[in-house]
Amino acid sequence: MRVCVVTGGALDRDLLLSLDLKNRWDRILGVDRGAQFLAELGLWPDLVLGDLDSAEPSAVRALEEKGLEFLRFPPEKDLTDTHLALEHCRDMGATEVLVLGATGNRLDHMFANLFLGFRYRKDFTCVFRDPWNEVHPLEGPGTFQFEASEFPYLSILPVSDTARVLEVSGVRYPLGERLLERSDSLGISNEVLGTKATLRLGEGKVLVFRSKD
């Protein structure tokens, strides 16, 4: 099951409309202010989830009047709304999750959101996207391929203390076996050449950023 989670960070109208969410995704979750943003575009979510403390009361009433399913939580809780949304994705049997609105002004929320991708790596693949970035939380060992797209840059940032990169190919700056430390900047701003790039990862966790200026 493919699920799109629209949460309450920085959201972009053109991006959401370009993704054709209703036709390409099996379920759409509107999380807190993300549900309001979807409704304003006429994209009613299948489920409204969260404490709704950042959504306008009038927008919440409109969502209720539409007869949508709600899963409410109190504002004072141990997990963020995005965390609760990914828990729900796991419980419903999602195999692929796209998260929109996970970035924005609050860097603490952004990092917490990106790290959540590792928590559910055994349950589903998770990708975070905004207009300028597509972020893939990955854990080795494994081989991962990245098709050429609107995001020409490819950066590899270790999240674990170390990450052993076995090979990066199909890029402007190929890399052989290398043990990267979390503080290394070697993996920043590579570029995809041709039709795809390939990362062969040994032990370790990395965030792979596909980006554009």
Rounded Cα–Cα distance for residues 143 and 109 (Å): 29
pLDDT at 85 over 90: yes
Strand, coil or helix: what is 33?
helix
For residues 105 and 22, state if they share a domain. Answer: yes
Instruction: Assign 123 a pLDDT band (cuts: 50, 70, 90).
Output: very high
Q: What is the pLDDT of residues 192-201, one digit of tens each?
A: 999 999 999 9
Please give the share of the chain, as a percent, with pLDDT higher than 70. Answer: 100
In this structure, which amino acid lies at residue 86?
L
Determine contact, residues 158/204, Cβ cutoff 8 Å.
Answer: yes
Rounded Cα–Cα distance for residues 67 and 62 (Å): 9
Residue carrying structure tokens 């965390």: 83
Domain that holds residue 146: 137-211
- Beta-carbon count within 10 A of 108 CB: 8
For residues 11 and 111, state if they share a domain. Answer: yes
Rounded Cα–Cα distance for residues 208 and 202 (Å): 14
**The last residue of a domain, from among 87, 110, 131:** 131
**Which has more pLDDT, 75 or 140?**
140
For residues 28 and 117, state if they share a domain. Answer: yes
Q: What pLDDT sits at residue 55?
A: 87
Q: What is the pLDDT of residues 144-203, one digit of tens each?
A: 999 999 999 999 999 999 999 999 999 999 999 999 999 999 999 999 999 999 999 999
For residues 114 and 11, state if they share a domain. Answer: yes
Number of structural domains, the chain? 2
For residues 13 and 117, state if they share a domain. Answer: yes
For 83-125, the DSSP string reads: HHHHHHHHHTT-SEEEEES--SS-HHHHHHHHHHHHHTTTT-E
Q: What pLDDT sits at residue 95?
A: 97
For residues 111 and 147, state if they share a domain. Answer: no
**The last residue of a domain, from among 71, 105, 131:** 131
For residues 95 and 23, state if they share a domain. Answer: yes
List the structure tokens of 22.
């209703």
For residues 117 and 144, state if they share a domain. Answer: no
Rounded Cα–Cα distance for residues 9 and 21 (Å): 18
Q: What is the pLDDT of residues 95-120, one digit of tens each?
A: 999 999 999 889 999 999 999 999 99
**The last residue of a domain, from among 131, 156, 182:** 131
For residues 13 and 106, state if they share a domain. Answer: yes
Q: What pLDDT sits at residue 190?
A: 97
Is 0.95 topped by the overall pTM? no
For residues 109 and 147, state if they share a domain. Answer: no
For residues 170 and 186, state if they share a domain. Answer: yes
For residues 114 and 20, state if they share a domain. Answer: yes
